[in-house]
Chain A
Amino acid sequence: ETGVTQSPTHLIKTRGQQVTLRCSSQSGHNTVSWYQQALGQGPQFIFQYYREEENGRGNFPPRFSGLQFPNYSSELNVNALELDDSALYLCASSLAGQQFTDTQYFGPGTRLTVL
Protein backbone atom coordinates (compact mmCIF):
# COMPACT_ATOMS: atom_id res chain seq x y z
CA GLU A 1 0.00 0.00 0.00
CA THR A 2 1.51 3.31 -1.06
CA GLY A 3 1.12 6.47 0.96
CA VAL A 4 0.16 9.95 -0.17
CA THR A 5 2.74 11.60 -2.39
CA GLN A 6 3.02 15.20 -3.55
CA SER A 7 5.04 16.99 -6.20
CA PRO A 8 7.02 19.07 -6.43
CA THR A 9 8.68 19.26 -3.03
CA HIS A 10 9.59 22.91 -3.35
CA LEU A 11 8.56 25.62 -5.77
CA ILE A 12 9.46 29.26 -6.22
CA LYS A 13 7.18 31.57 -8.20
CA THR A 14 6.77 35.29 -8.65
CA ARG A 15 3.72 37.36 -7.85
CA GLY A 16 1.03 37.14 -10.55
CA GLN A 17 2.11 33.76 -11.87
CA GLN A 18 0.08 30.57 -11.81
CA VAL A 19 1.05 27.30 -10.12
CA THR A 20 -0.12 23.68 -10.20
CA LEU A 21 0.57 21.30 -7.34
CA ARG A 22 -0.01 17.57 -7.62
CA CYS A 23 -1.08 14.85 -5.23
CA SER A 24 -1.32 11.10 -5.55
CA SER A 25 -3.76 9.58 -3.09
CA GLN A 26 -3.20 6.53 -0.96
CA SER A 27 -4.22 3.35 -2.73
CA GLY A 28 -7.98 2.76 -2.51
CA HIS A 29 -8.84 6.26 -1.27
CA ASN A 30 -11.55 8.17 -3.14
CA THR A 31 -11.43 11.54 -1.42
CA VAL A 32 -8.74 14.20 -1.43
CA SER A 33 -8.53 17.37 0.65
CA TRP A 34 -6.13 20.27 0.31
CA TYR A 35 -4.84 22.43 3.13
CA GLN A 36 -2.67 25.54 3.31
CA GLN A 37 -0.26 25.82 6.23
CA ALA A 38 1.34 29.22 6.70
CA LEU A 39 4.49 29.46 8.77
CA GLY A 40 3.76 28.96 12.46
CA GLN A 41 0.10 28.14 11.90
CA GLY A 42 -2.09 25.08 11.75
CA PRO A 43 -3.31 23.84 8.37
CA GLN A 44 -6.33 25.66 6.89
CA PHE A 45 -8.85 23.74 4.78
CA ILE A 46 -8.97 24.84 1.13
CA PHE A 47 -11.36 22.29 -0.41
CA GLN A 48 -12.18 18.63 -0.78
CA TYR A 49 -12.90 16.49 -3.83
CA TYR A 50 -14.94 13.31 -3.84
CA ARG A 51 -15.43 11.32 -7.02
CA GLU A 52 -14.10 14.19 -9.11
CA GLU A 53 -16.52 16.77 -7.70
CA GLU A 54 -15.81 19.56 -5.22
CA ASN A 55 -17.36 18.44 -1.97
CA GLY A 56 -16.70 21.31 0.39
CA ARG A 57 -14.70 24.53 0.41
CA GLY A 58 -13.01 26.67 3.01
CA ASN A 59 -12.58 30.42 3.04
CA PHE A 60 -10.36 30.71 -0.03
CA PRO A 61 -10.96 32.83 -3.14
CA PRO A 62 -11.89 31.33 -6.53
CA ARG A 63 -8.34 31.68 -7.81
CA PHE A 64 -7.73 28.52 -5.78
CA SER A 65 -9.16 25.68 -7.83
CA GLY A 66 -8.74 21.96 -8.04
CA LEU A 67 -9.24 18.81 -10.02
CA GLN A 68 -9.58 15.18 -9.11
CA PHE A 69 -8.96 12.55 -11.75
CA PRO A 70 -10.56 9.11 -12.23
CA ASN A 71 -7.54 7.49 -10.62
CA TYR A 72 -8.18 9.79 -7.60
CA SER A 73 -5.01 11.79 -8.05
CA SER A 74 -5.53 15.51 -7.70
CA GLU A 75 -4.26 18.96 -8.62
CA LEU A 76 -4.40 22.26 -6.81
CA ASN A 77 -4.18 25.30 -9.07
CA VAL A 78 -3.56 28.81 -7.84
CA ASN A 79 -3.85 31.75 -10.22
CA ALA A 80 -2.56 35.29 -9.83
CA LEU A 81 -0.20 34.36 -7.02
CA GLU A 82 0.14 36.75 -4.10
CA LEU A 83 2.93 37.01 -1.56
CA ASP A 84 0.60 35.65 1.14
CA ASP A 85 0.19 32.43 -0.82
CA SER A 86 3.65 31.43 0.36
CA ALA A 87 3.00 28.36 2.50
CA LEU A 88 3.22 24.60 2.81
CA TYR A 89 0.41 23.00 0.82
CA LEU A 90 -0.75 19.67 2.15
CA CYS A 91 -2.82 17.07 0.43
CA ALA A 92 -4.74 14.48 2.44
CA SER A 93 -6.52 11.41 1.14
CA SER A 94 -9.26 9.37 2.76
CA LEU A 95 -11.83 6.72 2.04
CA ALA A 96 -15.17 8.40 2.39
CA GLY A 97 -18.15 6.55 3.72
CA GLN A 98 -21.66 7.88 3.92
CA GLN A 99 -20.90 10.22 6.79
CA PHE A 100 -17.42 11.16 5.68
CA THR A 101 -16.18 10.37 9.18
CA ASP A 102 -13.05 9.01 7.72
CA THR A 103 -9.47 9.56 8.70
CA GLN A 104 -7.36 11.80 6.51
CA TYR A 105 -3.81 10.75 5.70
CA PHE A 106 -1.43 13.52 4.74
CA GLY A 107 1.34 13.79 2.21
CA PRO A 108 4.68 15.49 2.91
CA GLY A 109 3.54 18.76 1.35
CA THR A 110 4.78 21.20 -1.27
CA ARG A 111 6.58 24.30 -0.03
CA LEU A 112 5.56 27.25 -2.23
CA THR A 113 7.48 30.51 -2.07
CA VAL A 114 6.09 33.55 -3.88
CA LEU A 115 8.56 36.39 -4.50
Chain B
Amino acid sequence: AQSVTQPDIHITVSEGASLELRCNYSYGATPYLFWYVQSPGQGLQLLLKYFSGDTLVQGIKGFEAEFKRSQSSFNLRKPSVHWSDAAEYFCAVFRGSNYKLTFGKGTLLTVNP
Protein backbone atom coordinates (compact mmCIF):
# COMPACT_ATOMS: atom_id res chain seq x y z
CA ALA B 1 0.00 0.00 0.00
CA GLN B 2 1.16 3.46 -0.73
CA SER B 3 2.04 5.77 2.12
CA VAL B 4 3.40 9.23 2.70
CA THR B 5 5.65 10.15 5.61
CA GLN B 6 6.34 13.63 6.83
CA PRO B 7 8.94 13.07 9.54
CA ASP B 8 8.68 16.51 11.13
CA ILE B 9 5.46 17.22 13.02
CA HIS B 10 6.41 20.79 13.89
CA ILE B 11 9.15 23.10 12.61
CA THR B 12 10.01 26.58 13.84
CA VAL B 13 12.08 28.98 11.76
CA SER B 14 12.91 32.64 11.95
CA GLU B 15 11.55 35.02 9.38
CA GLY B 16 14.03 35.32 6.52
CA ALA B 17 15.59 31.94 7.16
CA SER B 18 15.52 29.13 4.64
CA LEU B 19 13.07 26.26 4.94
CA GLU B 20 13.00 22.61 3.97
CA LEU B 21 10.06 20.33 4.73
CA ARG B 22 10.61 16.64 4.22
CA CYS B 23 8.36 14.16 2.50
CA ASN B 24 9.00 10.49 1.77
CA TYR B 25 6.66 8.20 -0.09
CA SER B 26 6.25 4.51 -0.51
CA TYR B 27 4.82 3.59 -3.88
CA GLY B 28 5.81 1.04 -6.49
CA ALA B 29 5.42 3.10 -9.62
CA THR B 30 6.28 6.66 -10.57
CA PRO B 31 4.08 8.74 -8.32
CA TYR B 32 2.26 11.96 -8.89
CA LEU B 33 3.28 14.21 -6.02
CA PHE B 34 1.75 17.30 -4.51
CA TRP B 35 2.33 19.82 -1.76
CA TYR B 36 -0.65 21.60 -0.23
CA VAL B 37 -0.79 24.30 2.44
CA GLN B 38 -3.58 24.76 4.97
CA SER B 39 -4.05 27.87 7.05
CA PRO B 40 -5.92 27.49 10.36
CA GLY B 41 -9.55 26.52 9.80
CA GLN B 42 -9.16 26.65 6.03
CA GLY B 43 -9.17 24.25 3.12
CA LEU B 44 -6.10 23.12 1.23
CA GLN B 45 -4.31 25.29 -1.30
CA LEU B 46 -2.13 23.68 -3.95
CA LEU B 47 1.48 24.88 -3.80
CA LEU B 48 3.01 22.73 -6.53
CA LYS B 49 2.89 19.34 -8.20
CA TYR B 50 5.16 16.86 -9.94
CA PHE B 51 3.92 14.52 -12.64
CA SER B 52 7.02 13.92 -14.79
CA GLY B 53 9.97 15.66 -16.42
CA ASP B 54 12.21 18.13 -14.66
CA THR B 55 12.65 16.95 -11.08
CA LEU B 56 12.80 20.49 -9.67
CA VAL B 57 9.39 22.08 -9.75
CA GLN B 58 8.45 25.64 -8.98
CA GLY B 59 5.26 26.57 -7.20
CA ILE B 60 3.41 29.55 -5.90
CA LYS B 61 4.56 31.87 -3.11
CA GLY B 62 8.23 31.22 -3.89
CA PHE B 63 8.17 27.51 -3.01
CA GLU B 64 9.97 24.78 -4.92
CA ALA B 65 10.29 21.03 -4.49
CA GLU B 66 12.69 18.42 -5.76
CA PHE B 67 11.74 14.87 -6.68
CA LYS B 68 14.46 12.35 -5.89
CA ARG B 69 13.52 8.87 -7.05
CA SER B 70 16.56 7.23 -5.42
CA GLN B 71 15.53 8.57 -2.02
CA SER B 72 11.74 8.33 -2.56
CA SER B 73 11.56 11.95 -1.48
CA PHE B 74 9.81 15.12 -2.53
CA ASN B 75 11.06 17.84 -0.19
CA LEU B 76 9.63 21.34 -0.19
CA ARG B 77 11.96 24.34 0.03
CA LYS B 78 11.83 28.07 0.29
CA PRO B 79 14.95 30.28 0.42
CA SER B 80 13.49 32.97 2.68
CA VAL B 81 10.43 32.41 4.84
CA HIS B 82 7.84 35.13 5.46
CA TRP B 83 5.63 35.36 8.54
CA SER B 84 2.61 34.68 6.33
CA ASP B 85 4.01 31.23 5.51
CA ALA B 86 3.04 30.00 8.98
CA ALA B 87 0.57 27.19 8.30
CA GLU B 88 0.36 23.42 8.03
CA TYR B 89 1.91 21.76 5.01
CA PHE B 90 0.79 18.46 3.54
CA CYS B 91 2.57 16.25 1.07
CA ALA B 92 0.34 13.95 -1.00
CA VAL B 93 0.66 11.15 -3.52
CA PHE B 94 -1.89 10.43 -6.24
CA ARG B 95 -2.45 6.92 -7.44
CA GLY B 96 -4.45 6.66 -10.63
CA SER B 97 -5.78 3.16 -10.03
CA ASN B 98 -7.98 4.20 -7.11
CA TYR B 99 -8.29 7.87 -7.89
CA LYS B 100 -7.37 9.10 -4.46
CA LEU B 101 -4.83 11.40 -2.91
CA THR B 102 -2.97 9.89 0.03
CA PHE B 103 -1.77 12.56 2.43
CA GLY B 104 0.94 12.66 5.01
CA LYS B 105 0.07 13.76 8.53
CA GLY B 106 1.36 17.25 7.89
CA THR B 107 4.10 19.54 9.19
CA LEU B 108 3.12 22.59 11.19
CA LEU B 109 5.33 25.57 10.41
CA THR B 110 5.80 28.35 12.96
CA VAL B 111 7.63 31.50 11.90
CA ASN B 112 9.31 33.64 14.55
CA PRO B 113 9.72 37.37 13.93
Contact = CB atoms under 8 A, between A and B. Distances in A.
A binds B: yes
A101 B94 contact: yes
Residue from B32, B101, B104 with most neighbouring chain A CB atoms (10 Å) = B101
Interface of B: 4, 32, 34, 36, 41-46, 49, 51, 90, 92, 94, 96, 98-106
Given A101-B32, A101-B51, A43 B90 contact: yes
Contact of A33 (B45, B49, B101, B105): B101
Contact of A99 (B4, B42, B90, B96): B96
16 contacts: A6-B43, A33-B100, A35-B101, A40-B105, A41-B106, A42-B106, A43-B44, A44-B103, A58-B100, A90-B43, A100-B96, A100-B99, A101-B32, A101-B94, A106-B36, A106-B45
A48 B100 contact: yes
A104 B90 CA distance: 14
B98 A42 contact: no
Interface in A56-115: 56, 58, 90, 92, 99-101, 103-109, 111
A52 B37 CA distance: 29
Contact of A42 (B90, B94, B96, B100): B90
Contact of B104 (A33, A42, A56, A104): A42
A108 B43 contact: yes
